[in-house]
Amino acid sequence: MIQQQTSLKVADNSGAKIVKCIKILGGAKKKYAVLGDFIVVSVKKLRNKLKKNSKVKKKEICKALIIKTKKQTKIKTGYIKIFLTNSVILLNKQANPIATRILTSIPHLLKKKGLQKIINLSLGVV
């Protein structure tokens, strides 16, 4: 469960390393975001190698899609998925990924939501 002011890792090659959640999209009174939700983030830290030619700048505001949370999620088959980090993918205003590669595998839940562009860029589906 992600709420405002939560620090998140970026799992793509857009140039950002750490972002902070500003707003959760999907309702005025929504307090928590879960796996597969869209949020608004601010870039806090850039990767050292990509500072000069990164696609995002520090203090820039972007949309993001949550792909991993530390909170456990149950699946209908009875399994429980637990990830070690809170991770996001940065998106532009049209909800297309900024990056050209996603550096981790993504959960099967995103495949059900119909986010085919993101699935094609990832390493695989878990």
Per-10-residue mean pLDDT for the chain, 126 residues long? 93 92 91 92 87 85 93 78 89 89 84 79 80
Inter-residue contact 3 to 24 (CB < 8 Å): yes
Q: Report the pLDDT value the prediction gives residue 50, as an integer from 0 to 100.
A: 64
Query: Which pLDDT value is given to residue 52?
Result: 74
The reported pLDDT for the residue numbered 21 is 96
Residues forming a β-bridge with 10: 88
Give residue-wise pLDDT tens across range 98-125.
988 888 888 877 777 777 788 888 887 8
CB atoms within 10 A of CB 96: 10
CATH code for position 21 = 2.40.150.20
Q: What is the DSSP string of 31-56?
A: --B-TT-EEEEEEEEE-STTSSS-SS
- Give the range of the structural domain holding residue 71, as residue numbers without chain letter: 7-98
Residue at 77 is within a domain: yes
Domain assignment present for 70: yes
pLDDT of residue 16: 92
Instruction: Report residue 87 as tokens.
Output: 């991770």
Is residue 50 assigned to a domain? Answer: yes
pLDDT at 49: 72
Instruction: Tell me, yes or no, whether 78 lies in a domain.
Output: yes
What is d(CA 26, CA 121) in angstroms, rounded to the nearest whole number?
Answer: 25
Does residue 42 belong to any structural domain of this protein? yes
